[in-house]
Amino acid sequence: MRTSVISDKLIDMADESSQAVDTPAMPGGLARRAQAIQRVLYLLIVVAVFAVDQMTKSFVERTIPHGVSVPIIPGFFDLIHTENSGIAFSLFAGASDSWKMVLMIGVSIALLVAVVIVALKSKELNWATGVGLALVVGGACSNLLDRIRFGQVLDFLDFYHRSYHWATFNLADSAIVAGAALLLLEILFSK
């Protein structure tokens, strides 16, 4: 029920923001062509996020042994080869495996379907909404593929300062967070 309210708000926000854009009226054919090009660009963002995340994970898997940390900026940032059986930023990593995998895959698929429906139902997306949705879909698809194929996701970005470590993550997680931030900003500041 809550997902429906959120998706309805995103659809309303996308429709309102597209009407608020100060662009001159275009003839019908030109407007449809511009909308098609815009949607192709969003699809390219999805594909780029997916491909870059999969390539970086493959690179780390081939070049860094499991558990080994490679300092990039000493005292701040390392590359490390770890697997995450939880969700983003290792949440629920310690939960029982019997129900966790089915639940995470099911929730991921449901959320992806909801986001795609929002994008397809919106007549026109403004750039922040479209890019935000594309980043979320690209990152979620990449992590979902890993979870289905391997039962876990490879994480490799490790930021820290002295004894404080941020949870290790990957580029898909970064794309999801950046996309969600764009959507949140759009919700907060839309007219």
Catalytic residue set: 155, 173
- The Cα 20–Cα 15 span in angstroms is 9
Structure tokens at 4: 């429906």
- The Cα 159–Cα 7 span in angstroms is 33
Structure tokens at 101: 């995998």
Q: What angle do CA 12, 138, 62 make, to 5 degrees?
A: 165
| C-alpha closest to that of 154 among 84, 65, 53, 59 | 84
- The Cα 35–Cα 56 span in angstroms is 32
**Is 10 in contact with 183 (CB distance < 8 Å)?**
yes
